[in-house]
Amino acid sequence: IETKLPKVGTTIFSVMSQLALEHKAVNLGQGFPDFEPPQALREAVTRAMAEGRNQYAPGIGLAPLREQIALKTERMYGRRISADTEITVTSGATEALFAAIAAVVRSGDEVIVFDPAYDSYEPAIELQGARAVHIPLTVPQFAIDWQRVREAVTPKTRMILINSPHNPSGAVLSANDLDELAAIVRDTQIIVLSDEVYEHIVFDGAQHESVLRHAELAERSIVVSSFGKTYHCTGWKLGYAVAPKALSAEFRKVHQYLTFCTFHPAQQAFAEFMASSPEHYLELPAFYQAKRDRFRALLKPSRLKLIDVPGGYFQLVDYSAIRDEPDTAFCEWLVKQGGVATIPLTPFCEQAPNTRLLRLCFAKSDATMDAAAERLCKL
Ligand code: PMP
Ligand code: GLN
């Protein structure tokens, strides 16, 4: 058959998780916690099922959950959004990203993405008959060069897709970055898609610069988040999108035929848990900062060079002192010979980067970190 996605194979996350199993490697590749979600949250899901919440939820999401998301948004970003018209609950951020792109991007349009870019963006863009225009982030800060963005904008530019805190680098956008972006999209038809799945994982006392803090950008943005990242339950696949009323209406047209609604018991559980334990996401920065610092301390004696990590739950390391070869080759060698699964940057880039960097996930228990560090320090 004639393929619509000729460049796409199996995602690097599936490939590396499989290799980790085969080679009994410590898995720091695919980004997921190896510890459990809060017990009260797990109990709430079980209870929701026992109470019979086993049929379709409302398509846009359970009302009390949307209310909690609105409350959180106001508390975090000082912006009051409508639970009725501006929030849609989705099957993970992945669905929200796809629905946002499908709702806005037309055939022949261009979408600006920043490399390394999370791997689901480009296929979603290409399936609309549109083209991803890749702008490399600066190395090693992984910052956006706004001059390059200005030069890349054309009359066909329909969307700019940003991601902060950034996967895989952990870089975060500043308030000034958002002002730069606002100046570029002002007086255009460009919609901003802001992937903020790591919104609650920002370190060293910094605040997350959500697009929702920025009045002008919020008027033309779809902001996407993931309960999987915030509540340690990536397998439940629950996320949401926030957008102004008119944009949400378009988003919901796609969502209602893509999935219609998402897992009902977990929606009820989050509605209860967010109301009873609002401190969970407020404690997340300290929780992950302790993990980041512990992991970095463990790797200090290794020959890996550690890149600064302002947010997210990934550590980039430069391995050039160990072997001088491209990242995919080193990553394969490391999972087979070194017993640690990691993620290279090449699958996130249009052009293979001339860096020697790998991504390691530190959303892990102490025992997993210790086992990985022992192996990494021997290299
Ligand atoms: N965007 C980014 C940047 C991610 O890292 C991830 C998951 N790792 C997603 C989107 C998808 O999130 P979800 O699992 O909620 O679909
Ligand atoms: N987002 C996760 C990561 O970056 C992986 C999600 C997936 O496997 N699709 O590792």
Question: How many A from CA of 29 to the centre of ligand 1?
Answer: 14
- Token output for 191: 């919609």
pLDDT by residue (tens digit) across 247-296? 999 999 999 999 999 999 999 999 999 999 999 999 999 999 999 999 99
The reported pTM is: 0.98
Domains of the chain by start residue, with CATH: 12-37+281-378 (3.90.1150.10), 39-279 (3.40.640.10)
- Residues near ligand 1 with C-beta < 6 Å? 31, 92-94, 118, 163, 167, 195, 197, 226, 228, 234, 237, 239
Question: How many A from CA of 197 to the centre of ligand 1?
Answer: 6
Determine the distance from the C-alpha atom of residue 33 to the mean position of all C-alpha atoms in its chain, rounded to a whole number. 14
User: How crowded is residue 18: how many other Cβ atoms within 10 Å of its Cβ?
Assistant: 15
For residue 92, the model assigns a pLDDT of 98
Q: Which ligand is nearest to the CA of 10?
A: 2
Rounded-to-integer distance, Cα 229 and Cα 312, Å: 9
Rounded-to-integer distance, Cα 224 and Cα 267, Å: 17
Rounded-to-integer distance, Cα 46 and Cα 35, Å: 18
The helix/strand/coil state of 54 is coil
Cβ–Cβ under 8 Å, residues 266 and 238: yes
For residue 296, the model assigns a pLDDT of 98
For residue 298, the model assigns a pLDDT of 98
User: How crowded is residue 14: how many other Cβ atoms within 10 Å of its Cβ?
Assistant: 12
Q: What's the pLDDT band for 359 if we cut at 50, 70, 90? A: very high
Tokens 């049929």 belong to which residue? 55
Q: Does the C-beta of 30 come closer than 6 Å to ligand 2?
A: yes
Among 71, 89, 313, 35, which Cα is nearest to 198's? 313
Q: Does the C-beta of 163 come closer than 6 Å to ligand 2?
A: no
Question: How many A from CA of 76 to the centre of ligand 2?
Answer: 25
Q: Does the C-beta of 92 come closer than 6 Å to ligand 2?
A: no
Which atom of ligand 1 approaches the CA of 227 most closely? 15
Q: What ipTM is given for this predicted complex? A: 0.98
pLDDT by residue (tens digit) across 117-171? 999 999 999 999 999 999 999 999 999 999 999 999 999 999 999 999 999 999 9
The helix/strand/coil state of 178 is helix
Residue 348 CB burial class (10 angstroms; 0-12, 13-18, ≥19): buried
Torsion of CA 259, 264, 265, 266, to 10 degrees: 60
Cβ–Cβ under 8 Å, residues 108 and 157: no
For residue 202, the model assigns a pLDDT of 98
Length of the chain: 379
Cβ–Cβ under 8 Å, residues 115 and 145: no
For residue 286, the model assigns a pLDDT of 98
Residue 258 zone, left/alpha/beta (φ > 0; ψ -120 to 50; rest): alpha
Measured in degrees and rounded to the nearest 5, phi and psi for residue 303 equal: -95, 10
pLDDT by residue (tens digit) across 310-355? 999 999 999 999 999 999 999 999 999 999 999 999 999 999 999 9
Number of H helices, E strands in the chain: 14, 13
Among 112, 92, 360, 372, which Cα is nearest to 233's? 92
Among 93, 15, 96, which Cα is nearest to 346's? 15
